[in-house]
Amino acid sequence: MTDRRRATGRSTLRALSLFATTACLAAAALPAQAADELTLYTTREPGLIQPLLTAFTATTKIQVNTVFVKDGLLERVKAEGARSPADVLMTVDVGNLLDLVDGGVTQPVKSAALESAIPANLRGADGHWFALSMRARVLYADKGLKLGAFRYEDLADPKWKGKVCIRAGQHPYNTALVASLIAHDGEAKTEQWLRGVKANLARKATGGDRDVARDILGGICDIGLANSYYVGQMKSSKEGSDARKWGDAIQVVRPTFANGKSGGTHVNISGAAVAKNAPQRANAVKLLEFLVSDSAQSLYAQANYEYPVRKGVALDPIIGQTIGELKVDPLPLTEIAKYRKQASALVDKVGFDR
């Protein structure tokens, strides 16, 4: 090992040690929580969930102290250890949620309210995590196309050569879909599919989901994959704005899997877990139960254009009219998540993002 590598290693260890020490001291300095409050650590933008938290406090009189953690949520909670003030851990993408579980910073919850509201494929069998809302990975397409039914596997059809736009394959939204394809079709077929989609790209796999709609309007591509809630964001934008033009330029189709017996569409989630060392465990469970209530699920739909996990909750009108009711692929998210590392490796193997 070179002196430079040794120095780098020592610096890294010192930084990690300092982070752990600082986190523990900060946690120790925090005042004890009152019985009528809880602390939420979240990677979701606070503005997206504040209407839900405000409604929770108005209903229960329990104050929510929100800590926005953009990166390193697992590392922070681990460093804080038993002194962590976190009661609820909230994040987006099932992979991020399962990382918390695998990292040993969550605890099981047994709740009839949660189990009755959330389908089994959208929660941990052991009660360590729960989906709170869904976003479907849907097809954006030029309005002039006559598509009918569409399968995810169809994106690799040579007839779409030079007509597909998509964000980076290594983005969690896409690695989750690739993992689903591995679960449905096997690794060999999924690799073939990735190569086919790459060959069909109209441009490099880059940008964001809304850029797919932008480039369809611009004539760069005809079709592409993106998340469902962006449709609501674009179509609700100010009349005449670029985002509104992008949203109005597309039709949206709910794809299925060729080997999916139920004909369901791939979804990812926002979700939450009760922290392992939650000082206010009872309040934490109350928050999760509230978030799957009819009123809160309606707020998820109206404020964020997401799909509710609870059946019978009305969709936002834009989502209802543009995309419609969602039939979810019943494959358990835990099964899909098993293939995340394989999915990421395949993306690199075929040079999808190059």
| pLDDT exceeds cutoff 60 at 15 | no
Cβ-count burial of 225 within 10 angstroms (0-12 exposed, 13-18 middle, 19+ buried)? buried
Location of structure tokens 């073939």: 192
Q: 31-60, pLDDT tens digit by residue?
A: 445 579 999 999 998 888 999 999 999 999
The region of weakest confidence among 84-88, 239-243, 246-250, 262-266 is 262-266
Query: What is the end-to-end Cα distance of the chain in Å, rounded?
Result: 32
Query: Model confidence at 27, in pLDDT bands (50, 70, 90)?
Result: very low
Question: Of all residues in the chain, what percent carry a pLDDT higher than 70?
Answer: 89
Point out which residues pair with 65 in neighbouring strands.
39
Q: Are 75 and 267 in contact (CB under 8 A)?
A: no
Structure tokens at 265: 């569409």
What's the pLDDT score for residue 28? Answer: 38
pLDDT confidence of residue 13? 34
Residues 97 and 273: beta-carbon distance below 8 Å = yes
pLDDT tens-place string over residues 83-107 = 999 999 999 999 999 999 999 999 9
pLDDT at 33: 52
Residue type for position 218: G
d(CA 219, CA 200): 15
Domains defined for the chain, CATH in brackets: 3-134+267-316 (3.40.190.10), 135-265+333-349 (3.40.190.10)
Distance CA 278, CA 284 (A): 8
Q: Work out the average pLDDT over 186-209.
A: 98
Q: What pLDDT is attached to residue 67? A: 97
